[in-house]
Amino acid sequence: MHRGKLTVVGAGPGDVDLITLKGVKALQNADVVLYDALVSNELLEYAPKAEKIFVGKRKGCYSYQQAQINDLIVERATLGLHVVRLKGGDPFVFGRGAEEMEHAAAFGVEVDVVPGISSSLSVPASQNIPVTKRGAAESFWVITGTTKEHKLSNDVALAAKSNATVVILMGMSKLGEIMQLFKKEGREDTPVAIIQNGTTEHEKIGTGTVASMEYKAREQQLSNPAIIVIGEVVHHRQNILDIQHRYQHQEIKLHEKV
C-alpha cells in the first residue's frame, strides 16, 4: 500500500522571492497544499493543479486546530498523495513542523522537510539589522514571547542578563513585560527595533530604547505579526544611513567644485 508523502516547506518571511528553489520544486510536485496565514497567496501559483487548503488563523475564517491539521495530512497522504505543508519562515522555528512530521511518520507516511528563511533573521536583515556584528554582539537568542501556556518564556529574563542580541517572536502582547525585564538589568538605554510585516509591502518599523519602546510602539500602532529586536546591533541600521548620507553629501560637494 502506498502511504504518500508529507513535505514540510518553509515559505520564507513574506517576500515571495525568499522561498528556496527546493521549496518551489516541492510545490510544483504537490497534490495537496496546506498553508498558513503568514504565507503569501502568490506562492500557491507554483502549485496550479494541487488542492489548496487554508489551515491558518485569519479573522472571520474557520480556524483549524492542530489535531485537525495532523489528521488532514495523514488522511490525504494515505490516499497516496504528496502533501506539502507550507509554513511561514522556517518550519522548525516555532513552526510545529517537527510535530506534524512525527505525527505523519507514525502512520507510515514518508516525511521530508525543506528549510525556509526564518523571519527571526531575515526580518531584522530587511531593515539592515544584523543579529551579530563584530564589537556589538557575539551571539543571539531567538525566543517566543508566548509559550504553550500563553506565558512569556523564562528565557527572556536570562537573555536580558547577556550581551547577546535578543530576537523575540510573538511578543507584542507582552512588550511591557519584556521591557520591564531588561529595565531590571539596568538596560534602559539598550536600543530596540520592532518590525511589523517584514519583507512585505506593508513593512513598518519603529525604533527606540528599552525605556521608550513601549510608548513608541503604541504611538506608531505597531502590532502583529512583528519581531522585537533588542541589542546594540539595532544601531547598525542608523550607521548605514549615516554613512550613505555622508557619502552623498561629499558627492554633492565634489560636484559643486567641478
Binding site for ligand SAM (CB under 6 A): 13-14, 38, 87-90, 93-95, 118-120, 123, 169-170, 195-200, 224-227
CA dist., res. 151 & res. 91, Å (int): 22
Half-sphere exposure of 182 (CA within 13 A, CB side): 27
Shortest spacing between CB 171 and ligand SAM, in angstroms: 7
204 is a catalytic site residue? no
242 is a catalytic site residue? no
DSSP-derived secondary structure for 134-186:
TTTBS-EEEEESS-TTSS--THHHHHHTSSSEEEEES-GGGHHHHHHHHHHTT
Shortest spacing between CB 189 and ligand SAM, in angstroms: 24
Q: Which grid coordinates belong to 73?
A: 495530512
Task: Kindly tell me which of 8 and 32 has the beta carbon lying closer to ligand SAM.
Answer: 8
> 72 and 84 in contact (C-beta within 8 Å)?
no
Shortest spacing between CB 12 and ligand SAM, in angstroms: 8
Task: Kindly tell me which of 31 and 199 has the beta carbon lying closer to ligand SAM.
Answer: 199
Task: Kindly tell me which of 190 and 196 has the beta carbon lying closer to ligand SAM.
Answer: 196
Half-sphere exposure of 92 (CA within 13 A, CB side): 9
Shortest spacing between CB 110 and ligand SAM, in angstroms: 23
Options 57, 151, 161, 184, the catalytic residue: 57
Options 87, 90, 101, 170, the catalytic residue: 170
Q: Which residue is nearest to ligand SAM (CB)?
A: 89
What value does the CA radius of gyration of the chain take, rounded to a whole number of Å? 21
62-71 contacts, C-beta under 8 A, 24 or more apart: 66/96, 66/99, 69/34, 69/100, 70/99, 70/100, 70/103, 70/104
Going by C-alpha positions, the residue among 33, 73, 77, 71 that lies closest to residue 51 is 33
Task: Kindly tell me which of 66 and 250 has the beta carbon lying closer to ligand SAM.
Answer: 66
Shortest spacing between CB 243 and ligand SAM, in angstroms: 26
Beta bridge partners of 206: 194
57 is a catalytic site residue? yes
Residue 127: CB atoms within 10 Å: 19
Options 36, 87, 174, 179, the catalytic residue: 36
Task: Kindly tell me which of 154 and 224 has the beta carbon lying closer to ligand SAM.
Answer: 224
The edge-to-edge listing of strands for the beta sheet with 32-35 is 51-54, 32-35, 82-87, 5-10, 110-114
Shortest spacing between CB 149 and ligand SAM, in angstroms: 16
Task: Kindly tell me which of 3 and 204 has the beta carbon lying closer to ligand SAM.
Answer: 204
Catalogue the active-site residues: 36, 57, 170
